[in-house]
Amino acid sequence: MQVRQSEIILDIVDAAKKAKCKIADLACGDYETYGKFNLSTAARHFGSWTAARKAAARANPSKLQAALKQHLLDELKEDKKAHILDVFKRQLRDNGEAPAMADLVQAGLSKDVLNRCFGSLGALEALVRKESPELFKDVTIRSLFSPSAFASLDKAVAEKKRFVITTAVTGCKVHEGFYASVKEFCRENDAALLIMVTSDPAHNRDRGEPGVSKQERYGTIAAKLAGEHIVLRDTALNDNLKLSTLKTSAKMINPLTGVKRLVQKNGNLIVASPKQIQQCVPVSNFRLPHVGMSTGAITVSNYSTDNYMSERLAYIAEHDHTIGAIIVEIEDSELFHYRQIQADVDGSFYDIAGLQLKKYTPKGVKKVDLKKENAGALVMGDWHSGETDPIVAQAWKDLCLIVSPDYLLVHDGFNGLSINHHEEHDFIKKAQRALSGQLSLEAELKQFAADIDMLSQFAKKAVVIVKSNHDDFLHRYLKEGKYVVDPQNHLFSLDLAKAAIQGEDALQFAIEKAVGLDDKTNVRWLKRNEDFKIARIQLGAHGDKGSNGSRGTLAQMEEAFGYSVTGHSHVPSILRGAWSVGTSSFLQLDYNSDSPSSWMNTSCIVYPNGQRQLINCIFGKWALGCQAPTTEEA
Ligand SMILES: [Fe+2]
Ligand SMILES: [Fe+2]
């Protein structure tokens, strides 16, 4: 009503101007001629034409004009707000998740108008969450901080021995198949699912609750995960392993960047990330290293962003995103086992929990028939025949009985201790080796041949000897004529030298012809320039040589092959697609005994679908439930 009157007043002022008279002198006829409203309208609102004219004379036209404009704008804003709310809710219903600004702009809305109407996209979302919570399929993580949730997590940690640890990226949908498969695993193996949280700030910008400080904005996770154990504070699974809530960005190229010294100081650490990375850090001259690792995700990748400068990292993060987790088994307050899983497209995965190979699928658990479905390969930690730890060797034999690999990959199989050029001028060491009977090349080759014969029983198709730097010791020994001045091995080496001159692989010749194998048909000798791949994963490189003659590193392997499992470093590591096994030798050898070591006894199972698991043998144990063999048994 007030505005209506204002409009009439402005109309009377306008009519007086057009009639070129004062308002007091404005006649009825003039108003009829110039006014937009008729007299009866004016009289109805003011009681009489005279009252209307007096009101107009008293009024301040410029203030009235501004008030009227504001009202019209307010009316317009209300219309726009209703429209924006309508579009937001429609997209929320259609897509099952709150729309990003880009989605709303695509639907014809203006970012500026939205911000003028609601302050920000986050404020708009908060308003809709408050008014229509039933439309959302996710919940704010802040709402999950509760004493009962923490108590429930503590109870699970205290009671369970087996855990599946994965990461939810805020604002992203759950991988339904993997979630269902993990639930099957937990049911089958009495395990607890622990979900860590990470965020992609560029994807989630403007989200969170208005009025909440940035530090306390955690974003949202799928409502169906809200009933699981969400790890919102640092949680120790035993005295030696902690889940860290260190805030990592979901898009970090390497989520362990800067974390190594925390791992060194504080112990084994798992951090949240949709990527799988593992790094070992030495802590002593003789103790086992500490391991830092990231988990992989239970949410599907979504790094869409309106921020142009974030698109590069988003693209890379999409590439590295791994649907997966880490399975942890607790032996006691100190010892634990861990192994990675990565999901197949449908969310299923293999694991050896309970010392049985089973496939966990969204539809249930399947005990694998090893005659039809078995591991593609077991890449053993560097073998180093003669210095192989018999307890570790026994562990891999036991593991083979469980996963029945088609191929057993052997790195640094021949150790070359008897002809080691690194000890050529170390007369003390050579004297010690002479006293221990370690300088006979023939005896060392016989030991390696016996090892190959033994391993052959555990490979369904073949033992694959990966050409390695220790294997090359023999070729170098012959090439440089070292055998000429090595009385003990001179005669035996002559045939090997001749074979080498004739273009044969000296080590293969020595094992197959000079020493002999029980059955050489199921042994495959790889050349340096040969690939050996299972599920596009390169298994045919030792890892000592990088691109174009450079020194091999895991980063080099990633650059060269994308997906690989290599050896050589003796340090089990994961750099996204590039994995490295440890060693099967004793952990203290002559060439690492004078420095801090991060060596571990670790092998890698490669499944035919490309899933990989690093298996660590620690004091003879490699999974919950297995018995550590004694030296005599091994
Ligand atoms: Fe090596
Ligand atoms: Fe090695």
User: What's the CA-to-centroid distance between 435 and ligand 1, angstroms?
Assistant: 26
| pTM for the whole structure | 0.83
User: What's the CA-to-centroid distance between 571 and ligand 2, angstroms?
Assistant: 10
Residue type, 269: L
In tens, the pLDDT along 38-93 reads 788 888 888 888 888 888 888 888 887 787 788 777 878 888 999 999 999 999 99
Q: What is the DSSP string of 285-305?
A: SSSPPEEEEE--BSB------
User: What's the CA-to-centroid distance between 455 and ligand 2, angstroms?
Assistant: 18
Query: What is the pLDDT, as a whole number, of residue 214?
Result: 60
User: What's the CA-to-centroid distance between 423 and ligand 1, angstroms?
Assistant: 16
pLDDT at position 307 over 90:
no
In tens, the pLDDT along 358-397 reads 999 999 999 999 999 999 999 999 999 999 999 999 999 9
User: Which position has the higher pLDDT, 10 or 600?
Assistant: 600
In tens, the pLDDT along 501-513 reads 999 999 999 999 9
In tens, the pLDDT along 247-295 reads 888 889 999 988 888 888 888 999 999 999 999 998 887 788 999 999 9
User: What's the CA-to-centroid distance between 547 and ligand 2, angstroms?
Assistant: 19
In tens, the pLDDT along 389-423 reads 999 999 999 999 999 999 999 999 999 999 988 88
Query: What is the pLDDT, as a whole number, of residue 205?
Result: 47
Domain 140-367 class, CATH top level: alpha beta
User: What's the CA-to-centroid distance between 414 and ligand 2, angstroms?
Assistant: 10
In tens, the pLDDT along 473-529 reads 999 999 999 999 999 999 999 999 999 999 999 999 999 999 999 999 999 999 999
- Judged by its nearest atom, the ligand closest to the C-alpha of residue 415 is 2
Axis-axis angle for helices 111-118, 61-95 (nearest 10): 110
- Judged by its nearest atom, the ligand closest to the C-alpha of residue 472 is 1
- Judged by its nearest atom, the ligand closest to the C-alpha of residue 381 is 2
- Judged by its nearest atom, the ligand closest to the C-alpha of residue 585 is 2
pLDDT at position 124 over 50:
yes
User: What's the CA-to-centroid distance between 590 and ligand 2, angstroms?
Assistant: 12
CA–CA distance, 254 with 558 (Å, rounded to integer): 13
- Judged by its nearest atom, the ligand closest to the C-alpha of residue 584 is 2
- Judged by its nearest atom, the ligand closest to the C-alpha of residue 471 is 1
Contact 101, 121 (CB under 8 A): yes
In tens, the pLDDT along 547-580 reads 888 889 999 999 999 999 999 999 999 999 999 9
- Judged by its nearest atom, the ligand closest to the C-alpha of residue 589 is 2
User: What's the CA-to-centroid distance between 570 and ligand 1, angstroms?
Assistant: 8
Phi, psi at residue 163, to the nearest 5°? -135, 145
Structure tokens at 366: 């399947």
Cβ neighbourhood burial of 609 (10 Å; 0-12, 13-18, 19+): middle
Nearest to 292 by CA among 240, 366, 355: 240
User: What's the CA-to-centroid distance between 610 and ligand 2, angstroms?
Assistant: 24
Query: What is the pLDDT, as a whole number, of residue 61?
Result: 80
Query: What is the pLDDT, as a whole number, of residue 183?
Result: 98
Chain centroid offset of residue 89 CA: 32
* CB burial string 336-353: b at 16+ within 10 A, e below: bbbbbbbbbeebbbbbbb
Three-class HEC string of 531-571 = CCEECCEECCCCCCECHHHCECCHHHHHHHHCCEEECCCCC
Query: How many other C-beta atoms are found inside a 10 Å radius of the C-beta of residue 451?
Result: 20
Q: Which one-letter DSSP state was computed for residue 34?
A: H
Query: What is the pLDDT, as a whole number, of residue 1?
Result: 45
Per-residue pLDDT, averaged over 327-355, amounts to: 97
Query: What is the pLDDT, as a whole number, of residue 212?
Result: 62
User: What's the CA-to-centroid distance between 466 and ligand 1, angstroms?
Assistant: 10
Query: How many other C-beta atoms are found inside a 10 Å radius of the C-beta of residue 390?
Result: 16
Contact 489, 443 (CB under 8 A): no
User: What's the CA-to-centroid distance between 598 and ligand 1, angstroms?
Assistant: 15
User: What's the CA-to-centroid distance between 411 and ligand 2, angstroms?
Assistant: 7
Query: What is the pLDDT, as a whole number, of residue 452?
Result: 98
User: What's the CA-to-centroid distance between 628 and ligand 2, angstroms?
Assistant: 24
pLDDT at position 631 over 60:
no
> Taking ligand 2, which is a single-atom ion, which protein residues have CB atoms under 5 Å away?
382, 412
Q: Which residues contact 346 (CB under 8 A, 6 or more apart)?
A: 177, 361, 362
Query: What is the pLDDT, as a whole number, of residue 4?
Result: 73
CA–CA distance, 126 with 496 (Å, rounded to integer): 78
User: What's the CA-to-centroid distance between 291 and ligand 1, angstroms?
Assistant: 22
Query: What is the pLDDT, as a whole number, of residue 206?
Result: 45
CA–CA distance, 57 with 302 (Å, rounded to integer): 64
211: β partners: none
Query: What is the pLDDT, as a whole number, of residue 524?
Result: 97
User: What's the CA-to-centroid distance between 145 and ligand 2, angstroms?
Assistant: 48
Nearest to 281 by CA among 308, 296, 260, 304: 260
User: What's the CA-to-centroid distance between 173 and ligand 1, angstroms?
Assistant: 43
Query: What is the pLDDT, as a whole number, of residue 50?
Result: 87
Question: For the sheet containing 324-330, what is the strand order?
Answer: 229-230, 191-198, 162-169, 324-330, 336-342
Residue type, 143: S
Give the confidence band of 204 by pLDDT, cuts at 50, 70, 90: low
Give the confidence band of 217 by pLDDT, cuts at 50, 70, 90: low
In CATH terms, is domain 377-616 a member of 3.40.50? no
